[in-house]
């Protein structure tokens, strides 16, 4: 029987264990709050009584934790020998440097880390079209590909352990920024009597950004920030109108004001007549 260990039973870890059980795997689980495993044990998972037991139960160990501090605290509960020969699919969110340091720490103890960044929420685990960034030793990824693909598809980025974390954090940066923009817009809408349901189709159209991304990416690559289509000065004027509209609605204007400040910095730095893509330089030279 195929087998795997999952450490960390938050919503994501629970979904992962469920996917493995559905696929016929023998799953050993451990969580700092043991009661979180109760329903999974009832479905057939095996509860480990210690971190050491969880680690030594299987060659492949999936970590789904809040951050690497949690990982450090949990793995410290087991003797180093428990890690030897294990492959840890570390699907814990943290920054690229922490990923690299964790991989080196594990290697010193005879374990291999495969770093992952899951690109779907818990309901997407085990579903077609779901994807996870992976980096680290390619042979380790390939050796455990069938088990990893029970959870999601695989997008392998390279040997550098930090790459999966880097791509993941960049995506999360865009994700939270975009959704916060949506919430701010909805706050202004509600202040003017427009419900979320009524505003939904307008929000969806506004956030369909693929055309703009595909238009700008090759120009950014070529270093072409010509203001032939848009200009930073246009953005300044537009955002000033947004800030005025927000204040008139009695809504917090700190978010659009922060974006306006970036555009104003770009204009001050001599990019008023350049494309908004010139703001990349402004952001890099904060």
28: pLDDT strictly greater than 80: yes
Q: Which segments of 44-195 does DSSP mark as H helices, in order?
A: 51-57, 68-75, 96-108, 138-143, 145-151, 162-191
Same domain? For 36 and 150 the reply is yes
Same domain? For 54 and 177 the reply is no
Structural domain count of the chain? 2
- Per-residue pLDDT of 43-78, as tens digits, reads 999 999 999 999 999 999 999 999 999 999 999 999
Same domain? For 188 and 149 the reply is no
Domain boundary among 114, 142, 159: 159
Same domain? For 79 and 208 the reply is no
- Per-residue pLDDT of 177-219, as tens digits, reads 999 999 999 999 999 999 999 999 999 999 999 999 999 999 9
- Per-residue pLDDT of 136-163, as tens digits, reads 999 999 999 999 999 999 999 999 999 9
Whole-structure pTM value: 0.91
Helix axes 68-75, 96-108, angle to 10 degrees: 20
The rounded radius of gyration (Å) of the Cα atoms in the chain is: 23
Q: What is the CATH number of the domain that holds 273?
A: 1.10.1040.10
Same domain? For 74 and 192 the reply is no
Domain that holds residue 75: 3-159
What residue has token string 């055309």? Answer: 211
Same domain? For 92 and 116 the reply is yes
């Amino acid at each position: 029987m195929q087998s795997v260990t999952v450490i960390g039973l938050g919503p994501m870890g629970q979904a992962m264990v469920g996917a493995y059980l559905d696929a016929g795997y023998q799953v050993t689980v451990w969580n700092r709050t043991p009661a979180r495993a109760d329903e999974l044990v009832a479905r057939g998972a095996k509860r480990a009584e210690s971190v050491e037991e969880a680690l030594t139960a299987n060659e492949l160990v999936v970590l789904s934790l809040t951050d690497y501090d949690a990982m450090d605290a949990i793995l410290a509960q087991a003797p180093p020998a428990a890690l030897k020969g294990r492959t840890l699919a570390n699907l814990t969110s943290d920054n690229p440097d922490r990923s690299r340091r964790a991989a080196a720490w594990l290697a010193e103890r005879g374990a291999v880390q495969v770093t992952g960044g899951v690109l779907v929420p818990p309901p997407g685990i085990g579903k077609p079209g779901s994807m996870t960034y992976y980096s680290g030793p390619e042979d380790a990824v390939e050796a455990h590909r069938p088990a990893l693909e029970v959870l999601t598809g695989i997008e392998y980025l390279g040997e550098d352990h930090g790459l999966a974390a880097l791509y993941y954090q960049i995506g999360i940066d865009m994700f939270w920024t975009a959704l916060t923009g949506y919430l701010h817009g909805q706050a202004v809408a509600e202040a003017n009597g427009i419900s979320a349901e009524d505003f939904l189709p307008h929000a969806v159209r506004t956030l369909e950004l693929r055309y703009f991304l595909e238009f700008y990416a090759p120009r950014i690559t070529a270093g072409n920030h010509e203001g032939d289509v848009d200009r930073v000065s246009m953005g300044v004027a537009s955002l000033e109108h947004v800030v005025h509209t927000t204040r008139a609605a009695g809504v917090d204007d700190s978010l659009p004001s922060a974006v306006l400040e970036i555009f104003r910095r770009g204009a001050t730095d001599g990019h008023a007549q350049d494309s908004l893509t010139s703001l990349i330089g402004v952001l890099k030279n904060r």
